[in-house]
Amino acid sequence: MLTTNMTKQENTGASEAALTADASTPGQSQTPLVFEVVTAKLRSDVAVAQMIAVDHEIETTVIAKRPGFLSRESAPGNDHSWLAIIHWRSVADADASMESFASEPIAAKFMALIEADSLVMKRYGH
């Protein structure tokens, strides 16, 4: 479950919002959440159904098995684009997954479906 926690900084008096994921075990503290947002443009000769199949394989055989993985959503855009949002427990978990993804066989399949210069990855949270 996602919650927004408001905290007050003592020195400045400014408020900041932090997104957290509820810990699965009662009594544990909440964990900071990292959002990884990936967008890309599909090549013009690629059908959305092809990307759906490769995306499903990426999620089930690679990403979901990574330490710190929490959840993932993906969807096609109406402009032949693709969006994936991955929730990680920490930046370190997201970094480790990204570093090893390029060596996965599915990475080449993914790159063959998109315009390489259109790939953008951004992270939010900490």
pLDDT at 5 over 90: no
Model pLDDT, residue 126: 77
The residue that leads in pLDDT, 19 or 15, is: 19
Task: Say whether pLDDT at 2 is over 90.
Answer: no
DSSP-based three-state secondary structure for 109: helix
For residue 16, tell me if it sits in a domain: no
* Residue 50 lies inside a defined structural domain of this protein: yes
Work out the angle between the directed axes of helices 105-113 and 48-61 (0-180°, nearest 10): 160
Return mean pLDDT, the chain: 82
Residue 49 has phi, psi (to 5 degrees) of -60, -35
Confidence of residue 4 (pLDDT cuts 50, 70, 90): very low
pTM to 2 decimal places? 0.75
Number of domains in the chain: 1
Residue 117: which domain range? 29-125
For position 111, which CATH number holds?
Answer: 3.30.70.100
Query: Is position 44 within any domain?
Result: yes
At 79, is the secondary structure helix, strand, or coil?
Answer: coil
Tell me the β-bridge partners of 81.
Answer: 41
Task: Say if 91 falls within a structural domain.
Answer: yes
| 24-79 pLDDT, tens digit each | 444 444 566 999 999 999 999 999 999 999 999 999 999 999 999 999 999 999 99
Q: Assess if residue 2 is contained within a domain.
A: no
Give the per-residue pLDDT at 31: 60
Reading the block at residue 44, the tokens are 């013009």
In whole angstroms, what is the distance from residue 125 CA to residue 119 CA? 20
